[in-house]
Every structure is written in structure tokens, then in C-alpha cells.
Amino acid sequence: MPREKLQHAIGAIHVRFGGHALVHAARLPAARPWPTGLPAVDRLSGIGGLPRGRVSVLQGALGAGKLSLALAVLATATREHAHAVVIDRRRRRFDPWIPDRMGADLGALTVVRPPTPAVAGEAAVALARAGAGFALVLEELPEPALGPLESAAARSGSIVLVVAGGGERALAHASSLTLELELLGWEPARGRLAGPRSVLRCVKNKLAAPGAEAELVLRYPRGPRLPAAEWPREVERTPAVVVEPWPGASAAV
């Protein structure tokens, strides 16, 4: 009896919404990863990179390094995609000097600075729908924009990465991949603050098993461009001493 009811329900869906509404799981296309060039991120994703046509989230507390890591991903995107976009909702949060020092191609980068959260959501949806190769959103978007953003990215194959503080239920629901950074300490270099030492965890994954983690050192760029192999550097062993931030240094990343 339950099987007959199930078949009847499937038939009703087929008649009402068409054959495209029903797809056998075995026929679903495999996830298409975009390798970020950052070994820890690509490994933790479980598929070898950020998923194309999906919304990914990089979250963590202030100072954990989520913005620095996102900008490292952005630098790779500008070299591999004709168009990469940054949606800077706070209007002054994005500093192009930083990805430039990471080797970004600023000629392939467009910065959108919307005046309100609602406009930020509309801009993100429009850019994903238009097929922007990579879109970095530097703030949580309004809940009404998340569903259309998912659909737009799925249709165009755009890669969408949202930087968030964490705890937003609507954004957590919309994401296919959520990576979280937790600050462990600080990395000193010649008596100065070099950057945060954090652990990166995969806390949600619709495409592979979650739960993996890796420890990273995210070095703030100074002077000449850092070689790609050094940004960020994955920690091979945990240090015995946690060094506190250098006095007067700003760690708001």
C-alpha cells in the first residue's frame, strides 16, 4: 500500500510539473569543482575545490582570517576567470591593495558597492544570473535574496563565495559548502604580527563528507608579492607556544 501511494504521488508530480521535475539520483550530474589553488581548501571541500553553480560560505569570528583567506581565493579567481566580482556591502571593507600583493589580476576584477543590503542582494543575483565567473560577497545577504541567488548560480555555473560571521540560518541553508575558521593564535615574524594561526573546518558539505580540518597560517602581505606557494601556508605541526598579537597591531580580518 505505501509503495502504491508513493507511485501515485510521483505520477501526480510528473503530470503537474513535467518530466524535468523528477530525476533519478543516478542521473544527476556530478559536482563540478573549481580548484582554488589552496591545498587545504580544495582538500576540505571533498571534491577538489569550490563547487561551480553553488553558494559556498566562509565563516568565522573577527580576527580568524576569513577575509584574508577569501582574498587569496579571489586572487586565484582573477587569474583564471575573465570576470571576477566583489560585492562590498560596507563600501569600504575591500582594499584592492591586498589581493594585488597576492598576485591578483586587478584588470579582471570589478567591485560593486551597493548602498543598502537589499541592493546588495539584487546585485548578487543579477551577477550570478549573468554568469560572473566568480563572485565574492563580503557580508551576509538578506534572506529573500538567497533563494534566487542559489537558482541563478545553478543555471549559470557561477562560483559564489560569501564571507560571514556565522550563525545565520538562512545562509547556512542556502550554502552547499561551509568552511569555518577558528583562531588559535598569532604568528610572529621579526618582532611583528605576521598573521593569524587558525584551524579551518568543513562544517557543512552537500557534496562530500564534512568534518575534515586543517591548520593554517595566514600571513598578511607586506612589501613584495608573496609567492603563491606561501599564501596561505598549511601548518604541518602544532607549535608549543601561542604568541599573542604584537602590541598596537590590528587583527580585524
Backbone φ and ψ for 246, nearest 5 degrees, come out as -65, 135
The pLDDT of residue 199 is above 80: yes
d(CA 250, CA 116): 27
CB of 198 closer than 8 Å to CB of 181: yes
CB of 186 closer than 8 Å to CB of 158: no
Q: How confident is the model at residue 250 (pLDDT cuts 50, 70, 90)?
A: very low
HEC per residue, 40-74? HHHHHHCCCCEECCCEEEEEECCCCCHHHHHHHHH
Q: How confident is the model over 166-185, as pLDDT tens digits?
A: 777 888 889 999 999 999 98
- pLDDT computed for residue 222 by the predictor: 61
DSSP assigned state of 220: P
- pLDDT computed for residue 243 by the predictor: 28
Q: How confident is the model over 56-111, as pLDDT tens digits?
A: 999 998 888 888 899 999 999 999 887 899 999 876 668 888 888 888 888 899 99
Q: Which amino acid type is present at position 95? A: D
The closest alpha carbon to 182, from 41, 42, 44, 60, belongs to 60
pLDDT more than 90, % of the chain? 38
Question: String of b and e for 189-199 (b: at least 16 CB within 10 Å)?
Answer: eeeebbbbbbb
- pLDDT computed for residue 6 by the predictor: 78
- pLDDT computed for residue 49 by the predictor: 94
- pLDDT computed for residue 175 by the predictor: 92
Give the start-to-end residue ranges of the domains of the chain: 28-234
DSSP assigned state of 243: B
Which CATH number describes the domain made up of 28-234? 3.40.50.300
Rounded mean pLDDT, 236-245: 33
- pLDDT computed for residue 22 by the predictor: 65
The pLDDT of residue 27 is above 80: no
d(CA 100, CA 79): 11
CB of 188 closer than 8 Å to CB of 197: no
d(CA 238, CA 236): 7
3-state secondary structure of 171: helix
Rounded mean pLDDT, 19-48: 79
Strand partners, 57: 162, 178
Scan for cell 561551480, then name that residue. Answer: 52
- pLDDT computed for residue 4 by the predictor: 79
